[in-house]
Structure 1
Amino acid sequence: MTLKKGNNGYQVRDLQQRLNAAGAQLKVDGWFGDATQKAIEQFQEKHDLPRTGYAGVRTLAILAGESRSKFIQHSQLAAAAIALGVSFAAMASVAEVESSGFGFFACGRPAILFERHVFYRQLLESDAAVAAEFAAKYPNICNPARGGYTGGSGEYQRFAIAYQLNPEAAICACSWGMFQIMGFHWQALGYPSPQAFKQAMDASEGEQLNALVKFIEADPVLHKALKSRKWAEFARRYNGPAYKENDYDIKLARVYQQFNATSKQGADNAVAA
């Protein structure tokens, strides 16, 4: 759920009450206007959240008293921008458009999508006979064709079966976290093992952001495209040749303009909090 300027109703009223409990002095009228937006920005700044001016998963969770240990921080985004040699607006744009929104499922485990065809391919590289055997026995887990998705945290049921069959191949066969980076990139990103990559993804959105930085650094063409803000080239390298189906390049350009304009006005830039 996301509450933003222009919303109204009991959910906004509850948000205003929680903001007041955290130190704001809002009129609790159920209308999300300028005052509520400013109060959220102040709350986000105080808690080192990405400063958006609207209340998303992270802001609402912290207002509800949940731990912030796994949430991405504004300072981490700033550090990532410095590491990559790009503006905060460019880094924030990538994090906004290319993230899955939230790095963890409600159950507390990192967001994943298990790819049975990748599991099959991983097994095939080491033992073709084993790949064929598992494909025959577990077609929804090991298959040369895509598919079999259950979605959401239900993917962990498929992952658990694959992990019993071959832990490393199972990790490699999942996309992980906010930025859905495939596990088979573990070595190229400098992790000592697939298990070490998984442990990082389990730890926090900050670690998931670190993986994104490593992923961009590992691809000089992708990195150069980001530095020069060639969004079509960046989207093609990051999302694949079908990037135009979801207008990733257009979204990146639009979000960057918004963030850059805000920066020039002296305000903070942000990604979804």
Structure 2
Amino acid sequence: MTTTLRHGDRSQAVLILQKNLNKHGANLIPDGAYGDATEAAVRAYQVKIGLVADGVAGNKTQTSLAGGDCGKLLRNNDLVTAAERLNVPLASVYAVNEVESKGSGFLDNGKPVILFERHIMYRQLAKVRHEGDDPAALKRNADQLAATNPAIVNQKSGGYAGGSAEHQRLATARLIDDTAALESASWGAFQIMGFHWQRLGYNSVQEFVAAMSAGESEQFDAFVRFIETDPVLHKALKGRKWAEFAKLYNGPDYQRNLYDIKLQRAYERHDDCGCGQAVAA
């Protein structure tokens, strides 16, 4: 896994980064120190190729410098457009993207990052979807499936396998019920649950999944829709009430992971350094 490099770092990795930036037109003194000039060069490169221009050399920026494929990666223009849609400073969008994103939205095999939730599968199987559905019969079916395949259908959360193995769990679930299975996984860099598809304006969960599989831009669009369709969450973001935003998005344990502090610091950094005012390439 590539080490993320940022302002203040000093290492051999920074030296290599500086040399790679110079190959792409920068004029840095390769000293291994990630100072103002290196940060500016990173941001200039990101803007040039259209990546998120935050001045941080993460896996995506370093992969691009090495000639890797950036076709599915989040673009700087996606954040600019989101700031306009949400009517918030661009620095706020940079902050929520940095803190709330889990990093890459795709696994090395090209499939979207997911986490299958067996307790949601149980709930979705027992959900009344059509007129005439028998709630008792649906629950009995869910209970029977939970008894025979508790790793996939269960009243309790857990059973996670991680990485590509989550797609194996999902594939098994889809053999039981395709719609319920897709609704029971969280998708992409922002881990949006499939059962939100209707609220977010998709015609079906299958259409939602197709979008999440297309690229990080589509995953980020779902995240923006998630904020747009929650007036309280949107209001917290517009008011830069980071503790309230973090509590609503991350849940009551947000303080344990310092999400509100991270959001505040990220916003201030992006606002102060000017990268929150960056324009799309």
- Identify whether the pair has TM-score above 0.5, normalized to the shorter chain: yes
In structure 2, the CA distance between the partners of 1:8 and 1:227, relative to structure 1 (3 Å rule), is closer
Ranges in structure 2 where 5+ consecutive residues have no aligned partner = 129-137
1:11 aligns with 2:13: yes
| 1:192 equivalent in structure 2 | 203
Ranges in structure 1 where 5+ consecutive residues have no aligned partner = none
**Matches of residues 54-73 of structure 1 in structure 2 within 5 Å?**
54-73=56-75
Q: In structure 1, how many angstroms separate the alpha carbons of the residues matched to 2:272 and 2:37?
A: 21
Match of 2:50 among 48, 51, 63: 48
Which range moved further: 41-50 or 4-13? Answer: 4-13
**Matches of residues 153-164 of structure 1 in structure 2 within 5 Å?**
153-164=164-175
TM-score between both structures, scaled by the size of structure 2:
0.88
| 1:245 equivalent in structure 2 | 256
| 2:148 equivalent in structure 1 | 137
Q: What CA deviation, in whole Å up to 9, does each residue of 1:52-97 have, x standing for no partner? A: 2231011011112122221111111010010011111111111111
Q: Once the 2 structures are TM-superposed, how far is the Cα of residue 5 of structure 1 from its aligned partner?
A: 3.4
TM-score between both structures, scaled by the size of structure 1:
0.90
Q: Once the 2 structures are TM-superposed, how far is the Cα of residue 268 of structure 1 from its aligned partner?
A: 4.4
In structure 2, the CA distance between the partners of 1:13 and 1:262, relative to structure 1 (3 Å rule), is closer
Q: In structure 2, how many angstroms separate the alpha carbons of the residues matched to 1:124 and 1:238?
A: 26
Decide whether the 8 Å contact of 1:52 with 1:269 is kept in 2.
no
Decide whether the 8 Å contact of 2:8 with 2:33 is kept in 1.
yes
Q: Once the 2 structures are TM-superposed, how far is the Cα of residue 219 of structure 1 from its aligned partner?
A: 0.9
Q: What CA deviation, in whole Å up to 9, does each residue of 1:233-254 have, x standing for no partner? A: 2122211222222222222222
Paired residues in the alignment total: 267
In structure 2, the CA distance between the partners of 1:256 and 1:29, relative to structure 1 (3 Å rule), is closer
Cα RMSD over matched residues? 1.9
Q: What CA deviation, in whole Å up to 9, does each residue of 1:136-157 have, x standing for no partner? A: 1211111000100112222112
Q: In structure 2, how many angstroms separate the alpha carbons of the residues matched to 1:258 and 1:225?
A: 19
| 1:105 equivalent in structure 2 | 107
AA aligned opposite 1:202? S
- Identical amino acids, percent of aligned pairs: 50
Partner of 2:127, secondary structure, is: helix
In structure 2, the CA distance between the partners of 1:4 and 1:244, relative to structure 1 (3 Å rule), is closer
Match of 1:227 among 201, 215, 238: 238
| 2:84 equivalent in structure 1 | 82
Q: Once the 2 structures are TM-superposed, how far is the Cα of residue 20 of structure 1 from its aligned partner?
A: 2.7
Q: In structure 2, how many angstroms separate the alpha carbons of the residues matched to 1:104 and 1:130?
A: 34
Q: In structure 2, how many angstroms separate the alpha carbons of the residues matched to 1:189 and 1:140?
A: 29
AA aligned opposite 1:165? I
1:116 aligns with 2:127: no
Q: In structure 2, how many angstroms separate the alpha carbons of the residues matched to 1:103 and 1:253?
A: 24
